[in-house]
Amino acid sequence: MTSKSTIYDFVIVGSGIGGLISSVLLAMEGHSVLVLEKNHQIGGSLQVFSRDKCVFDTGVHYVGSLDKGENLYQIFKYVGILDDLKMQRLDQEQFDVYRFEDGKTYRFGLGYEQFKKGLLEDFPNQEKAIDLFCQKVIEVCNSFPLYNLEEDSPSNYIDNPEILSENAFDFVDSITTDEKLKSILLANGPLYAAEKEKTPLYVLALITNSYIKGSYRFINGGSQIAKLLTKKLREYGGEILKHQEVVSANYENGSVVSVVTKTNDEFYGKTFISNTHPKATIKIFGEDHFRIAFKNRVSKLKNTISSFMVYISLKKDSFPYYNYNFYEYRSYDVLKAIDYTPESWPEIIFCCTPTTVNQGEFAESLSVMTYMDYSEVEQWADSFNTISDKSQRSIDYENFKKEKVEKILTFLEERFPGIKGKINNIYSSTPLTYRDYIGTEDGSLYGIKKDVKSIMNSTINSKTKIPNLFLTGQNLIFHGILGATIGALVTCFNFIDNKTLIDKIRNQDEPKI
Ligand SMILES: Cc1cc2nc3c(=O)[nH]c(=O)nc-3n(C[C@H](O)[C@H](O)[C@H](O)COP(=O)(O)OP(=O)(O)OC[C@H]3O[C@@H](n4cnc5c(N)ncnc54)[C@H](O)[C@@H]3O)c2cc1C
């Protein structure tokens, strides 16, 4: 047991990007901060693994808003990690390529000018619709002052709540009768697990705009973000401990005084921030301490679908390095891809060639992601396997994975003929892998699903009814590295004056966005 002599100003449970950014922002203000992480590696979805001398990202393939002066660029600069990040900007003409069964490709380019130009080449008669799309995306983003790091960013982060209830598909459907253009405007849907009836327009807008404004890959993986944030945290006197799974909390007079880990260590704090999913937070901090209405709401929350990942190490100099991503669709009905059947799976695969130091014309590896519902692996739900808590899953599970890998390879071979002969080794992960490493109940890709029909029910506040317990991470506002970083600002506004913090972020000798 840890002695009570150390009482931290802040104890943060989980070292995802939201927990880490919060920790550094608070430490920069002079607070004593402790981060507790259950895993062997810090960073949550920023974790990487290495096979055959290739580094594979598990949950970050490319990140937007990193061009000079953009929102994530400014925040990363403020926390002091920007200059040390090793990044590769994706191609100006095309950072994403969408390819279909008929072999036709479409692309999104960087910057609104290039974005429009690329689309107009494929849809010369659709200038009005393409303009309407861009205008609306920008207008929606402008309703989120915090997203634009505006100096009067309100702590509730949105100016115009009506915008939350606009549906992404309905909007795209309303601006054109060209069915192919509609498909292309929604083709980056896997970035936000798009669903026709549910996905709000603001989710499409915040995500799509961010990628248009500077899409980057991280050289040798995104874990460098976590490593640099950890270094900064330590420089400011903060601490981070790994292999510390928080399992419960102790209270005095209705406030949390300490958290206890699986190994029975106890850590004391004045304020606690949970970077875990709200359902996990309720379990850790004790059901009895939350209001029934909140517990009911959280218990009904649906998460976004999970994923199946294939990681391929390639034979030397056999497969080109592409400085953009491929979204390979079977059908132009792009939003149907998430509702796959066992026969039709996979209806979409996202493919990217991770970038390395001194990247040449050939790729060392290929990462492939597709949707997978947790129900497909639920029969093995009793098994658990991470580096710090190792165990074998069953032969059946391994056979299931092999069968799925074969299907992905068949699809890959159709789109990249000859690729099978270029493979060195193949590794894969399922929703169970994400469940075990991240601590969500179903390995969800992006946390809580935003449902346009009940948007307030799928929105989580950073404050809880426990006076000194707060939340951070992808479930607050939106997901992704940018979303969870902005979520961390919202969390920190509870402790740092919002105007002061935004002023500091903006006043860094860089052009303002
Ligand atoms: C397959 C996949 C691909 C993705 N691709 C991209 C992409 O290309 N670009 C992008 O921007 N975003 C991408 N995302 C989304 C992005 O990675 C996430 O939205 C973001 O990283 C979530 O950050 P977070 O702060 O919510 O924390 P998380 O990453 O969810 O981390 C939570 C942390 O809490 C820890 N934890 C949980 N329970 C406990 C406990 N009891 N005690 C201690 N620690 C605990 C976990 O171990 C974990 O480290 C992807 C996600 C996935 C899954």
pLDDT in tens, 386-418: 877 777 788 999 999 999 999 999 999 999 999
Tell me, using a 6 A CB cutoff, whether residue 91 lines ligand 1: no
pLDDT-derived band at 173 (thresholds 50, 70, 90) equals: very high
Residues 476 and 331 in one domain: no
Atom 27 (ligand 1) nearest CA: 16
Give yes or no for a cis peptide into 346 (omega within 30° of 0): yes
Angle formed at CA 364 by CA 361 and CA 365, multiple of 5 degrees: 125
b/e string for 103-131 if b means 16 or more Cβ within 10 A?
eeebbbbbebebbbebbeeebeebeebbe
Tell me, using a 6 A CB cutoff, whether residue 429 lines ligand 1: no
Q: Is 508 exposed, middle or buried (0-12, 13-18, 19+ CB in 10 A)?
A: exposed
Ligand 1 center to 496 CA (angstroms): 24
How do 96-99 and 105-108 pair as beta strands?
antiparallel
Residues 123 and 34 in one domain: no
State the alpha helices, DSSP H only, in 55-126. Answer: 71-78, 111-122
Q: Is residue 2 part of a domain?
A: no
Ligand 1 atom nearest the C-alpha of 479 is: 19
Measured between alpha carbons, how far is 137 from 141 in angstroms, rounded to an integer?
6
pLDDT in tens, 226-276: 999 999 999 999 999 999 999 999 999 999 999 999 999 999 999 999 999
Q: Is residue 271 part of a domain?
A: yes
Instruction: List Cα–Cα distances, 55 to 46, 50, 171, 312, 433, in angstroms.
Output: 12, 4, 39, 11, 17
Kindly state the average pLDDT of the residues 154-161: 66
Measure CA of the first residue to CA of the last residue in the chain; give whole Å: 48
Residues 226 and 141 in one domain: no
Q: Which residue's entry shows tokens 């009482």?
A: 7
Residues 312 and 289 in one domain: no
pLDDT of residue 154: 63
Token pair, residue 121, equals 């080449």
Atom 41 (ligand 1) nearest CA: 246
Angle between helices 223-235 and 17-28 (to 10 degrees): 20
Residues 314 and 420 in one domain: yes
Q: Residue 468 phi/psi, 5° resolution?
A: -115, 30
CATH number at residue 12: 3.50.50.60
Residues 23 and 130 in one domain: no
Q: Which domain holds residue 487?
A: 7-56+71-85+222-300+452-506
Measured between alpha carbons, how far is 445 from 192 in angstroms, rounded to an integer?
9
Residues 145 and 212 in one domain: yes
Kindly state the average pLDDT of the residues 285-301: 95
Residues 48 and 194 in one domain: no
Residues 350 and 412 in one domain: yes
Q: Is residue 137 part of a domain?
A: yes
pLDDT of residue 416: 98
pLDDT-derived band at 2 (thresholds 50, 70, 90) equals: low
Atom 51 (ligand 1) nearest CA: 59
Ligand 1 center to 353 CA (angstroms): 21
Residues 288 and 425 in one domain: no
Kindly state the average pLDDT of the residues 454-478: 93
- Which of residues 438, 460, 475 is at a domain's end? 438
pLDDT in tens, 349-374: 999 999 999 999 999 999 999 999 99
pLDDT of residue 153: 64
Whether residue 22 contacts residue 210, with contact meaning beta carbons closer than 8 Å, is answered with: no
Lowest pLDDT segment from 230-239, 277-286, 380-389: 380-389
Q: Is residue 384 part of a domain?
A: yes
pLDDT of residue 65: 98
pLDDT in tens, 324-357: 999 999 999 999 999 999 999 999 999 999 999 9
Residues 432 and 468 in one domain: no
- Which of residues 438, 471, 497 is at a domain's end? 438
Kindly state the average pLDDT of the residues 52-67: 97
Q: Is residue 513 part of a domain?
A: no
- Which of residues 438, 462, 495 is at a domain's end? 438
Q: How many domains does the chain have?
A: 2
CATH number at residue 373: 3.90.660
Ligand 1 atom nearest the C-alpha of 472 is: 25
Residues 182 and 226 in one domain: no
pLDDT-derived band at 159 (thresholds 50, 70, 90) equals: low
Q: Is residue 371 part of a domain?
A: yes
Q: Is residue 190 part of a domain?
A: yes
Whether residue 415 contacts residue 99, with contact meaning beta carbons closer than 8 Å, is answered with: yes
Tell me, using a 6 A CB cutoff, whether residue 484 lines ligand 1: yes
Ligand 1 atom nearest the C-alpha of 44 is: 49
pLDDT in tens, 105-134: 999 999 999 999 999 999 999 999 999 999
b/e string for 9-43 if b means 16 or more Cβ within 10 A?
bbbbbbbbbbbbbbbbbbbbbebbbbbbbbbebbb
pLDDT of residue 337: 97
Q: Is 5 exposed, middle or buried (0-12, 13-18, 19+ CB in 10 A)?
A: exposed
Q: Is residue 349 part of a domain?
A: yes
Model confidence at 510: pLDDT above 70: no
pLDDT-derived band at 512 (thresholds 50, 70, 90) equals: very low
Mean pLDDT of the chain: 95
Model confidence at 513: pLDDT above 70: no
Measured between alpha carbons, how far is 4 from 267 in angstroms, rounded to an integer?
8
Query: What pTM, to 2 d.p., does this model score?
Result: 0.97
pLDDT of residue 386: 83
Ligand 1 center to 44 CA (angstroms): 4
Cβ neighbours of residue 486 closer than 8 Å, sequence gap 6 or more: 71, 75, 146, 147, 157, 477, 478
